[in-house]
Amino acid sequence: MIQALICMTIYLYLLPRVPLSKFSSPEYQKWGLVDRLGFMYISGFTARWKYYFIWSISQVAMIISGLGFSGWCTTASSSEPTPDWTRAKNVDIVKVELAKSGVELPMYWNISVSTWLRHCILLLCFVSLCCQVFFVILLIPSFCWEVV
């Protein structure tokens, strides 16, 4: 809950200072390339805090309802198992903001959807693609024998 309040505070602090309406203003059109890119980055940074707030609230709601429980885990410092509530986590703010490349972003932004896509869609498509290639490889010799 504290994380949600921090996210909303940052968003409400930055929003009046970086208004999105500035993109259509004549003043913005006169800026140089570097200034425009900087403003785009800052406005994107500002807009992300709205999503961080919503995902933090949804994480709290899932934990309160019990749906966020993902099992028991033991840490190196304690042999006693502790509850793990990471099933409700949908964004890792620090890892998103400090990502080294765009490849890392889907792993930390909208975690639940990207996990579902990775496990249910991409793996099935890969298996389906492997099956298609296998059948094509099986069919090629039969066509080649008829040509010869």
Q: What is the pLDDT of residues 66-90, one digit of tens each?
A: 887 888 888 777 778 888 877 778 8
Average pLDDT on 39-62 reads 90
Q: What is the pLDDT of residue 147?
A: 46
Q: Does 143 map to a domain?
A: no
35-44: list long-range contacts, CB under 8 Å, 24+ apart.
42/14, 42/18, 43/18
Task: Answer whether 109's CB lies under 8 Å from 96's CB.
Answer: yes
Q: What is the pLDDT of residue 115?
A: 77
**Residue that the structure tokens 């966020």 belong to:** 68
Q: What is the pLDDT of residue 35?
A: 93
Strands (E), 11-148: 71-73, 82-84
**Residue that the structure tokens 């940074």 belong to:** 45
Average pLDDT on 5-33 reads 90
Q: What is the pLDDT of residue 148?
A: 45
Q: Does 127 map to a domain?
A: no
Q: Does 63 map to a domain?
A: yes
Q: Does 48 map to a domain?
A: yes
Say if residue 15's pLDDT is above 50.
yes
Say if residue 140's pLDDT is above 80.
no
Question: Average pLDDT of the chain?
Answer: 81
Residues spanned by the domain of 55: 2-89
Q: How far apart are CA 55 and CA 20, in angstroms?
A: 22
Based on the structure, what is the number of domains in the chain?
Answer: 1
Q: Does 54 map to a domain?
A: yes
Q: Does 114 map to a domain?
A: no
Q: Does 85 map to a domain?
A: yes
- The model carries a pTM of 0.69
